[in-house]
Amino acid sequence: MNDSRNDPSDSGDKGDTGDRAVPSDFMAAPFLGEDFHVAQAMNDAVAGASAMSPAPSRVGSFRVGALIGRGSFASVYSATQDKPVVRRVALKVLDASLDQRSALQRFHREQHALARLEHPGIARLYEAGMTPDSRLYFAMEFVDGEPILAAATRAELPVRERIRLIRDACRAVHYAHMKGLIHRDLKPDNILVTTIDGALATKIIDFGVAKAIASPIDDSSLRTVAGQLVGTPAYMAPEQLEGRVDDVDVRSDVYALGAVLYELVSQRRPHQIGGMAPLDAARLVREERLRPLRDSVQGVSIDLDRALESALSVDPSDRYQSAAEFASDLDRVLDGEPVRSRTPGSWESTWRWSRRHPVQTAVALAALIGLVTTSVSFWSMAQTAKREVAHLQAAVKELLHSAIGLADRVGVVRERRAIIERAAALSATLLELRPNDAESRRIRADALIELSKIMRDATPSELDGARSLREEALAILDGLVAESPSKDDLAKHAIALILCGDIDKEVGDLAGAQRHYELALDEHRLMVARD
């Protein structure tokens, strides 16, 4: 097995933070905004950095060779088994110490998952056990190959051959699905290309984050010990990015296979979400229209684009319902036949979304109408009496709520931004009318944060503007917490600190990012102490 995954690291200046130094790989990792559990992430990051140690020279019947790859929780070595058979294997050894329960649980899941898989397109598990220094390991089939993107580029494979490789990978993944397993981290580095009987073939590796379909699983299993999502965001379906555990199923793997095929053919990913927090990335994926490959790649048929539209649909119900269905349509593409998938048109997609989200639809429509019919009246109402101020507060909240509801819809980025900008403008008016009113200040902070999120997702040129909005929101929340530190205000303040830290890190200010994250940690501890 050739596992080339390396954890990101950053050796930049992390500032003078006293005794709580944070490992550079922790600072390099993406954060989760309001879903990020600060205390657990910092504690586990430090524990993980101190627990790594090299593998012993011998493990059971295996002589350990060179390191060939390192992932988030384990290192992979080339090794030779000398009894009862002589063969070369890939030996995966847990890096973390045994008291890291979440890592151990993931490792146990990988062992049990792989033990049930016997397919020519999936690397086989041979043996599992314990090293002399009490670390878990398992030995698996050594795949003499390279990641699919690198292999296709080196061999200058034509489009047809790239489609064939993904079709074969789909069938291997479908086999695992039939065994009750979801991979959840399908990406180019986990789809290796090797040569079997003179022909190129794919091998799926690393079921380390597999989810047993029939087994209960809680939200913590979706995150690594460093507070990251388990998996690779660039290839994750929106429901997985959002951490919606109950919605992650075989269709999430179909999405990942579609994302890999899209990149394999076009040399670009379906969506550019690098550096984004997962929830922001999910919003972008839901809102941004998928670019047809035939517009930029020669040799791509309309049927391949239709197949990819189905595989990469943001709505699981509109995707292929199995990897086998995706493989069958790829066969049709290769044979020059029409695919069976049918991606809903824009009106049908809107109707389906409205059926699934009746409340958000009603609110969104009301908000859009209100932008035209009530914008002028809002100002006059806000100046007359306390009751009118309450109406204005409710209107801003409704606009923000409707904008959040529209996050599930495709192709409405401009509409969402218009609603949020209107809410921000009205919140400024509200603050002018009642500068000392706590609720008006909270609403203003909420509007600024929502606007900063959509600006951050837009273009790099708006990053500074997003940063300014978050700093303004943080200043408002600073005042609220200083006056009356309620639990809700403390939570909002901690979220704002983390969001400010996210942008600090994105622009390279690691000292500022760490300062914000540590303040959020202090806030978290204060909230825990109050419970």
Question: Which residues are annotated as catalytic?
Answer: 185
* Buried/exposed 68-106: b ≥16 CB within 10 Å, e otherwise: bbbbbbbbbbbbebeeeeeeebbbbbbbbbeebebbbeb
Question: Which is nearest to 257 in space by CA: 178, 200, 185, 177?
Answer: 185
Measured distance CA(86)–CA(353) in Å, rounded: 57
Residue type, position 447, single letter: A
H-assigned helices in 250-312: 250-266, 278-287, 302-311
Burial of 150 (0-12, 13-18, 19+ CB in 10 A): middle
* Residue that is written with structure tokens 């579609």 in the block: 258
CA end-to-end distance (rounded Å), the chain: 48
Nearest to 230 by CA among 45, 103, 389: 103
Rounded distance between C-alpha atoms, residue 442 and residue 439, angstroms: 5
Looking at residue 229, what DSSP letter applies? Answer: B
**Cβ density class 324-352: b for 16+ within 10 Å, e for less:** bbbbbbbebbbeeeebebebbeeeebbee
What is the rounded (10 degree) CA torsion for 223, 228, 231, 236? 100
| Residue whose entry in the numeric block shows the structure tokens 């690594």 | 224
DSSP-derived letter for residue 122 is B
> Which string of DSSP letters, residue by residue, matches 397-440?
HHHHHHHHHGGGSTT-HHHHHHHHHHHHHHHHHHHHH-TT-HHH
Measure the CA–CA gap between 222 and 327, rounded to whole angstroms.
Answer: 27
Rama region for 134: left / alpha / beta (φ>0; ψ in -120 to 50; rest): left
Dihedral pair phi/psi, residue 319, rounded to 5°: -85, 170
- With a CB cutoff of 8 Å and minimum separation 6, the contacts of 197 are none
Name the residue type at position 144: D
